[in-house]
Amino acid sequence: MLGICRGIQLLNVVLGGTLYQDIASELPGALDHYASSKVPGRAHLAHSIALEPGSWLAARLGTNALPGNTFHHQAVRDIAPGLRVTGRAPDGVVEAVEGAGPGFVLGVQCHPEDLWESADPRWARLFAGFVEAARQYALAAV
């Protein structure tokens, strides 16, 4: 399962977590998590994302930090059972989660589909890894 933007939020809520309904009003001093919407295009790299060393995402992208775009006013608040935080913005807002159990479960708050081609090609590795995980799952089910 791969959740992007609202997908990470939905994944967290469905599994029993909560959301900040409005980052700006609930987290004074937070970054502008709607910053990428204020410039042309969708590939504006608004802030860095610190990745948890040893996480699937850090290993797959080959780094413990990289920039991301940001288009959201809501964010993961309390983490659902079965998920673990694997990425955060500089202000502490959750930017990535992974499943703590078996199977492929990944959620990212940014929009890597707008970044992989030119803004930061490392994001393409996320999609290649997702396809690889789906292929392995399909082969195991046969």
As given in the structure block, the two tokens for residue 60 are: 């797959």
Give the C-alpha separation, 88 to 108, whole Å.
Answer: 10
Asked about 95 being catalytic, the answer comes back as no
Q: Which of 26, 52, 73, 113 is catalytic?
A: 113
How many of the other CB atoms lie within 10 Å of CB of 58?
20
Query: DSSP labels for 65-118?
Result: EEEE----S-EE-SPPTTEEEEEE-TTS-EEEEEESSSS--EEESS-GGGTTTT
Set 5, 33, 72, 95: catalytic member: 5
- The answer to whether 47 is a known catalytic residue is no
The catalytic position among 95, 111, 117, 132 is: 111
Q: How far apart are CA 141 and CA 72, in angstroms?
A: 37
In angstroms, rounded to a whole number, what is the distance separating the alpha carbons of residues 104 and 1? 6
**Residues with catalytic annotation?**
5, 111, 113
